[in-house]
Amino acid sequence: MPRIYLPSHQLEGNSPGVGGSEPPSADRVLRIRGEQARRLSRVLRLKPGESFEVVDERGTEYEVIAESVSREEVSGRFHATRCVETDPKLELTVLQGMPKGRKMDLIIQKSAELGVSNLIPVMTERSVPRAGLAESVARRERWQKISIQATEQSGRGSVMAVLPAMAFAEAVGAVPEASLRILLYEGAMTPLREALGAAEGTPGLGNAALFVGPEGGLTFDEVGIAQSHGYMPVSLGPRILRTETVALVVAGILFYAFGDL
């Protein structure tokens, strides 16, 4: 069934009462315009009479029956409402050192599919991109759109937030609620397996932070600063993974270790 994301304020603006304590009744009409209308009509090939799903940022999913479909507008009536419970119980924030080129696009797409809650782009000493303000805003808008599309495809109940890019000194203190903080560092002596074994006994572990460096890795001084903020340097063994690979591998391991895969 075709599936799109709409923020709750757009749903409420279309149909008063959506998002309240009562589900929308079948006589309420949802009108979708702009990019999502074009996606439904042109990309997902929706036809009148067919059902499609709309999910909002609160994890509420609405089944809608299409009445009219065009490039400019898709309209339909609400048919059913349900709560989506497909997101991991572990709230994971990935702090990703800014890589070269379009590698961040892939990291964001796959992190969102896996179930990562937040992603923070980080400017480290060895990060190559040095975007200006206007370019940074445009990048973030593109990245958030990639996260939304991954939500639609993967069946998640919430959209991974892509936060504004941060300097390293700001980023290391950006996830104060994380009870498990892992920093991937090729010079670390502690293997990931050992770090996870120690964390298994942490009561009520619900938040974790994963720090990944750019192509050139993190400097010795950056590792020391991260340690002072509670990050544990860990190693993935003798092989060196690309920066666009490592966050996805470790995120998957974390979700598996804490019962979400």
**Domain-by-domain residue ranges, the chain?**
3-83, 91-257
Find where tokens 């009509």 sit.
41
Two structure tokens written together for 38:
């074009």
Mean pLDDT computed over 158-171:
93
Of 9-18, 28-37, 104-113, 171-180, the one with minimum mean pLDDT is: 9-18
CATH of domain 3-83: 2.40.240.20
Q: In terms of Cα–Cα distance, which of 62, 58, 75, 55 is closest to 14?
A: 75
- Cβ contacts of residue 170 below 8 Å, gap of 6+? none
Q: How confident is the model at residue 14 (pLDDT cuts 50, 70, 90)?
A: low
Residue 237 Ramachandran class (φ > 0 left, ψ -120 to 50 alpha, else beta): left
Say what the pLDDT of residue 258 is. Answer: 83
Mean pLDDT computed over 153-162:
90
Say what the pLDDT of residue 260 is. Answer: 74
What's the sign of the alpha-carbon dihedral 249, 252, 254, 256?
A: negative
Judge whether 3-83 and 91-257 match in fold. no
User: Is pLDDT of 152 > 60?
Assistant: yes
Q: In terms of Cα–Cα distance, which of 51, 56, 45, 70 is closest to 14?
A: 56
In total, the chain counts a number of residues equal to 261
User: Which H or E run includes 191?
Assistant: none
For the segment 50-79, what is each residue's pLDDT rounded down to a tens digit? 999 998 888 888 999 999 999 999 999 999
Mean pLDDT computed over 219-224:
95
Mean pLDDT computed over 203-230:
91
Class of domain 91-257: alpha beta
- 240: burial class by Cβ within 10 Å (0-12, 13-18, 19+)? exposed
- Cβ contacts of residue 228 below 8 Å, gap of 6+? none
Q: In terms of Cα–Cα distance, which of 189, 240, 185, 232 is closest to 213?
A: 185
Give CA–CA dist 164/35, Å, rounded. 23
Give CA–CA dist 152/159, Å, rounded. 9
Two structure tokens written together for 41:
């009509």
Give CA–CA dist 80/128, Å, rounded. 48
**Residues 92, 255: contact at Cβ < 8 Å?**
yes
Say what the pLDDT of residue 82 is. Answer: 87
- Strand, coil or helix: 77: strand
Mean pLDDT computed over 204-222:
90
Q: In terms of Cα–Cα distance, which of 143, 137, 237 is closest to 187?
A: 237
Say what the pLDDT of residue 134 is. Answer: 59
Q: How confident is the model at residue 211 (pLDDT cuts 50, 70, 90)?
A: very high
Find where tokens 């009562």 sit.
22
Mean pLDDT computed over 22-30:
66
Mean pLDDT computed over 207-221:
94
**Residues 208, 92: contact at Cβ < 8 Å?**
yes
User: Which H or E run includes 7?
Assistant: none
Say what the pLDDT of residue 20 is. Answer: 45
